[in-house]
A and B are shown apart, each in its own frame.
Chain A
Amino acid sequence: DAKTTQPNSMESNEEEPVHLPCNHSTISGTDYIHWYRQLPSQGPEYVIHGLTSNVNNRMASLAIAEDRKSSTLILHRATLRDAAVYYCILRVPGSARQLTFGSGTQLTVLP
């Protein structure tokens, strides 16, 4: 199975950039890399996704390594509201319909 590896936890200071890493060394050529986040007592929320090129949206940026074996979610200016568990996710091989969630990275934002 294509799996992802993320640090269990990270800390950041408010209004500073945050770089959340994800390793996915067994990614296949057509798997999209998705990022979701989960605030306390809420369902996961979509953040960003990409295939090969770096991606930007209003929430974050996604930097994908040239060999696609790792990626980094970038929050340009962390706010207290960004404190959440961040999940880096790949499609499950053999199925176009499934996403496998790992345990994610707990981001703490310090005021």
Chain B
Amino acid sequence: NAGVTQTPKFQVLKTGQSMTLQCAQDMNHEYMSWYRQDPGMGLRLIHYSVGAGITDQGEVPNGYNVSRSTTEDFPLRLLSAAPSQTSVYFCASSYSGSTNEKLFFGSGTQLSVL
């Protein structure tokens, strides 16, 4: 059971480039989410999804797009990368998103934008 898998683990981009961070889970979880973590800080929610075809914004959605075409996958797209998006990105999932459920996190993607 792989849990939550994130790829790539590391990425360097130039300002203005686009890329997609991948997140997949094999636990049949309806709820998936993306967080970013800046140095010395906690995690901030970017976007989340409560099921295929349904997404919503978190605290810091600007500059990021998401879609949820399948239950398993929840990619995060940066359309035009900016240095302010240099961060570590974590994907998390839970069965339905209820506040009584625990979140399962991936191991993260470290992104640097030059």
Measuring CB to CB, which residues of chain A are less than 8 angstroms from any residue of chain B?
30-32, 34, 36, 41-46, 49, 51, 87, 91, 96-104
Contacts and interface: CB of A to CB of B under 8 A. Distances in A.
Contact of A44 (B50, B98, B100, B105): B105
Chain B interface residue count: which class?
20 to 34
A49 B107 contact: no
B10 to A, nearest CB: 11
Contact of B56 (A30, A51, A97): A97
B40 interface: yes
Nearest to A51: B100
A101 B43 contact: yes
B42 A99 contact: no
B42 A32 contact: no
Contact of B107 (A30, A42, A100, A103): A42
B83 interface: no
B7 to A, nearest CB: 14
B25 to A, nearest CB: 12
A31 B43 contact: no
Contacts of A30: 99
Given A103-B40, A103-B42, A104-B42, A44 B102 contact: no
Contacts of A101: 35, 42-44
30 contacts: A31-B99, A32-B100, A34-B102, A34-B103, A36-B103, A42-B108, A43-B4, A43-B92, A43-B105, A43-B106, A43-B107, A44-B90, A44-B92, A44-B105, A46-B102, A51-B100, A87-B42, A87-B43, A91-B99, A97-B31, A97-B48, A97-B97, A98-B33, A98-B58, A98-B59, A100-B45, A101-B42, A101-B44, A102-B42, A103-B42
Contacts of B31: 97
A96 B97 contact: yes
Contacts of A87: 42-43
